[in-house]
Structure 1
Amino acid sequence: MCRWTPAAAHLCPEPALGTTTAAASAGRPLPLPSAASLCLACFTLLLVTAGTATGACPPGVGHEPLQVLASGINCSWTLERHTRSYNHLEGDVRLRRLYSANKFFLCIDKTGKVDGTRRKNYADSLMEIRSVSVGVVAIKSVSTGLYLAMSKKGTLFGSVKYNPSCKFKERIEENGYNTYASLRWKHGGRQMFVSLNGRGKPRRGHKARRRHPSTHFLPMLPS
């Protein structure tokens, strides 16, 4: 009769020596393990194999399932989950046109003026959105090379050089649009947002609110 592996031996022990000898001498076949014992042993071996493959148990805890269960430690027997995917990972670069809920494309002209335009393929509206840290981006006009920036008073302008005023916290809202809040500046403890009003003109950051359509932008792929 085959012997069980050490991990499962105690679940289905071999018959006692006297019983085995008596059965053999009488010419009777050795008693087979019950169906319940076989199922429990197979399940045990499966857990041992999975635990060995994943290395999920913490150091100091053996791979015997009963030992783990008795210890009260919650070990995962599945493969470790991959890191959740985000679109704001550091170093990520996207070419997009920021289309506001007010139906304007955000643009920065060569003089540094920030404005909105309804022209879909306007050169100054093509932006390079670069993630500088998780959830924080820098927005630069591809045609003019100027960075979108916000002053302490909440005014939007184009900056020649990248600096802390050019960092914006990018957040995906429930409606699928993005909002961009200044990382550096706040007004009375409240965040100041990039915003275009109903005429396509930039609104002061402290007058904009996260839920207002003027602050909502849809990053569109260039056509």
Structure 2
Amino acid sequence: MCRWTPSVAHLCPELALGTTSTTAYTGQPLTLPSAASVCLACFTLLLVTAGTATGACPPGVGHEPLQVLASGINCSWTLERHTRSYNHLEGDVRLRRLYSANKFFLCIDKTGKVDGTRRKNYADSLMEIRSVSVGVVAIKSVSTGLYLAMSKKGTLFGSKTYNPSCKFKERIEENGYNTYASLRWKHGGRQMFVSLNGRGKPRRGHKARRRHPSTHFLPMLPS
């Protein structure tokens, strides 16, 4: 595998003639390294250089005999490295007003009624959107403390307690608006969406479709 003869002969012609020679200064015999030892030394240097350049262990280092050659390399960090975690996405909280494509702000009053309002700074429209898992959020009214929830029949209401009916899949659509579909409930295998009609009234989830403007919301920063 390693053909070192041309390069060695070029650098030191004596290697091409034999394994011993004499020094120019002392006249004493000089024992030259064998081709096998030169190959082994060069291979060791190659391993060390590769490990230093990449910041990783050379292939096979760990439980292979080559570990002896590269014993100066600290490879413990590669053995302790774990799979990347995305838990940092959970628990993220945003304060937003959900402004629908129908020009209404989603709100939840203290009685649990879900409605739409055109009042920009209406207290009940300020929502706390919390990521509970990747792509799934819980929406809570800051003023009333009620969670947006959807029933099995697709009706929107404000819940005093957080439960599986309060989880919604958040998706950014091609037009830049977000849609919110119930994570727990479906109707005939179809997703049911949070929706406000042209009068600002909530629509049943099974009557809404992802492409409908009534299901599209723009999370706006509170002013």
TM-superposed deviation, 1:127: 0.2
174 and 50 in structure 1: CA distance in 2 versus 1, 3 angstrom threshold: farther
TM-superposed deviation, 1:86: 8.3
> Which of structures 1 and 2 has the bigger CA Rg?
2
Larger mean CA deviation between 14-23 and 154-163 belongs to 14-23
Larger mean CA deviation between 127-136 and 60-69 belongs to 60-69
* Distance in 1 between residues matched to 2:21 and 2:159, nearest whole Å: 93
19 and 87 in structure 1: CA distance in 2 versus 1, 3 angstrom threshold: closer
RMSD of the alignment, in Å?
Answer: 7.6
Larger mean CA deviation between 213-222 and 20-29 belongs to 20-29
TM-superposed deviation, 1:51: 4.0
TM-superposed deviation, 1:49: 4.8
57 and 140 in structure 1: CA distance in 2 versus 1, 3 angstrom threshold: same
Contact 1:99/1:105 (8 A) holds in 2: yes
67 and 144 in structure 1: CA distance in 2 versus 1, 3 angstrom threshold: same
* Distance in 2 between residues matched to 1:38 and 1:110, nearest whole Å: 83
* Distance in 2 between residues matched to 1:28 and 1:80, nearest whole Å: 52
TM-superposed deviation, 1:60: 2.5
Q: Gapped runs of 5+ residues in structure 2? A: none
Which position in structure 2 is the counterpart of 1:52? 52
* Seq. identity, %: 94
* Distance in 1 between residues matched to 2:4 and 2:58, nearest whole Å: 26
Superposed CA deviations along residues 137-184 of structure 1, whole A, max 9, x for unmatched, are 110000011100000000000011111100111111122211111011
Contact 2:4/2:35 (8 A) holds in 1: no
61 and 76 in structure 1: CA distance in 2 versus 1, 3 angstrom threshold: same
Number of aligned residues: 223
Larger mean CA deviation between 4-13 and 54-63 belongs to 4-13
Larger mean CA deviation between 56-65 and 104-113 belongs to 56-65
* Runs of 4+ deviating beyond 2 Å: 1-88
53 and 130 in structure 1: CA distance in 2 versus 1, 3 angstrom threshold: farther
